[in-house]
Amino acid sequence: MAIAEDLEIAAFLKGQPKKLFIGGRWVEAASGKTFETLNPATGEVLAKVAEGGADDIDRAVAAARASFDRGTWRDLPPSERAKVLWQVGDMIEERATEFAQLETLDNGMPINDALLFHAPLAAATFRYYAGWVTKLDGATQQISLPGNYLSYTLREPIGVVGQIIPWNFPLLMAAWKIAPALACGNSVVLKPSEETPLSALLLAELLQEAELPAGVLNVVPGRGETAGARLAAHPDVDKIAFTGSTEVGKLIAKASAESNLKRVSLELGGKSPNIVFADADLTKAVSGVFFGIFFNQGQVCSAGSRLFVQEKVYDQALDQLVQTVKEARIGPGIDPVTQMGPLVSKTQMERVLGYIRTGSQEGARLLAGGHRPGGLDSGYFVEPTVFADVDGKMRIAREEIFGPVVAAIPFSDEDDLVAKANSTIYGLVAGVWTENVSRAHRVAHALKAGTVYVNCYHIVDAVTPWGGYKQSGWGRELGPYALDLYTELKNVIVDIS
């Protein structure tokens, strides 16, 4: 296990294996099993982690239930709960370099992305929801029936919340799930991905240091088919929140319905259109297209993987994009000059390379990339790849690749574009590049997507809603909208005559 001694995270990685966090204590898995999490830039073992299974989920749910029923967190004065969440935000900011290094080593993302985007937004998320703790108000209603009644509503925590997060943005996804759930007074069982469990465990350390009561947060790394399946189907879990693929989301919804009809929120896949009109600032648009698809190596549910370019500027835009791709710096994420790191695992790399072969076989024109980069003898790297002249029926235009592959499709006019852009089972985000303000609003209204970016892409903030149409999921995370995911609305009606 080759870990540089000068990294600030070195001490955290030396404690082996990393344990589960259940009931306020660090414990071994009930089975005694561990799994290895790898550095995708080298393929080397980064750490060993206790492998949580069904028995460990049962222990974690029992701890969460006991803490919730005791009211050790939900019954604290709101200002006291807010202080804890705000403190966690401060602690993430203070240890941002550690989190950034850990994300880079475990996930492969460029260190600058982790340091400048992921860690600050995770801290901001905890602070944002700290502000909401004291503002979870109800309302009064005037009843029209004869008599004299006082009607009012209360927002109450749901109870025990199970949360399953993916490997593409480990720290950020943990913050997006944990912060609003705790702000509303719930107790949480979090299952991070077995590919990238480390930042969630470090985050649990911070919450423990912030004196979150025991059992309010439990972190159980494990595999989806064991720990994840048990959490989704557990009869004593009141709500499940999942971010991941649409296929797994459907399984979780089914398991939740069959166990106890628990509430479910799902943030799922995408095949997002990024649209360049002929009147766009082409330099800015091409830069946005590059960022839209190749950020985090394309391992983003909102990646602009379908590139629609108006015929008049189609060739020019693709020429500029290919030139930008050729200049991209690919390498280990820990290197500060890296723009694109490795994919998260060998399995993911092989999956993406398989889609690239399929694209060529289906007749798409390969303009750039398509292979593992030369000069990198280890790790799970794939070149940024650009396909042109893609037909909407091709698999690379229909299926979520979740890698650095963009499928370029020409369009003639606005009506042609909208029909093509909406021809997908997904509806997470879309991008529109145009200098025509009327067109920008008109197209934004016509697109079936939860977020539409105009002359920008991948702009995400703690205050903005996140979620999609169609098979991109159920519900909205972030902003005040996430509070609806983690509270029950109770109506009280009193006869005061």
- Cis omega before residue 17 (within 30°)? yes
Which single residue is written with the structure tokens 């989806």?
224
Residue 421 has pLDDT above 70, yes or no: yes
Reported as a single tens digit per residue, the pLDDT across 156-177 is 999 999 999 999 999 999 999 9
Which pair of structure tokens corresponds to residue 325?
Answer: 């791709």
Q: pLDDT class for 8, splitting at 50, 70, 90?
A: confident
Better pLDDT: 474 or 7 = 474
Reported as a single tens digit per residue, the pLDDT across 191-221 is 999 999 999 999 999 999 999 999 999 999 9
- pLDDT above 90 coverage of the chain, percent: 96
Q: What is the SS3 assignment for 232?
A: helix
Reported as a single tens digit per residue, the pLDDT across 47-95 is 999 999 999 999 999 999 999 999 999 999 999 999 999 999 999 999 9
Q: pLDDT class for 3, splitting at 50, 70, 90?
A: low
Instruction: For the chain, give the mean pLDDT.
Output: 96
Q: pLDDT class for 313, splitting at 50, 70, 90?
A: very high
Q: What is the SS3 assignment for 138?
A: coil
CB neighbour list of residue 407: distance below 8 Å, 6 or more residues apart: 305, 306, 307, 359, 364, 387, 390, 394, 396, 397
- Confidence (pLDDT) at 5: 60
Average pLDDT for 343-364: 97
Average pLDDT for 240-265: 97
CB neighbours (10 Å) of residue 97?
15
Cβ contact 131:121 at 8 Å: no
Which pair of structure tokens corresponds to residue 218?
Answer: 């439990």
Find the catalytic residue in 51, 301, 383, 477: 301
Residue 128: C-alpha distances to residues 241, 278, 393, 478 (Å): 19, 39, 42, 9
Taken in order of first residue, the domains within the chain and their CATH numbers are: 10-268 (3.40.605.10), 273-462 (3.40.309.10)
CA distance 134 to 161: 21
Average pLDDT for 270-287: 98
CA distance 484 to 132: 12
Q: Is 267 a catalytic residue?
A: yes
Q: What is the SS3 assignment for 310?
A: strand
Residue 429, H or E segment: strand 429-433
- Confidence (pLDDT) at 120: 97
CA distance 360 to 358: 5
Average pLDDT for 434-459: 98
CA distance 195 to 40: 10
For 321-344, b/e burial (b = at least 16 CB within 10 A) is: bbebbeebebbbbbeeebbbbbbb
Residue 248 has pLDDT above 80, yes or no: yes
Q: What is the SS3 assignment for 22?
A: strand
- Confidence (pLDDT) at 124: 98
Residues facing residue 243 across a β-bridge: 267
Instruction: Work out the angle at residue 196's Cα, subtended by the Cα atoms of residues 191 and 198, and round it to the nearest 5 degrees.
Output: 80
Residue 1 has pLDDT above 80, yes or no: no
Reported as a single tens digit per residue, the pLDDT across 361-414 is 999 999 999 999 988 889 999 999 999 999 999 999 999 999 999 999 999 999
Residue 4 has pLDDT above 60, yes or no: no
Which pair of structure tokens corresponds to residue 445?
Answer: 């209204």
Q: Are strands 160-164 and 187-191 parallel, antiparallel or unpaired?
A: parallel
Report the range of poorest mean pLDDT among 6-10, 232-236, 340-344.
Answer: 6-10
Q: Where are the beta strands (DSSP E) in 148-238?
A: 149-157, 160-164, 187-191, 217-219
Find the catalytic residue in 98, 103, 194, 267: 267
Q: Is 301 a catalytic residue?
A: yes
CA distance 130 to 177: 14
Average pLDDT for 317-327: 97
CA distance 394 to 407: 10
CA distance 38 to 60: 26
- Confidence (pLDDT) at 6: 67
- Confidence (pLDDT) at 441: 98
Sheet holding 20-22, edge to edge: 25-27, 20-22, 217-219, 187-191, 160-164, 239-243, 263-267, 473-474
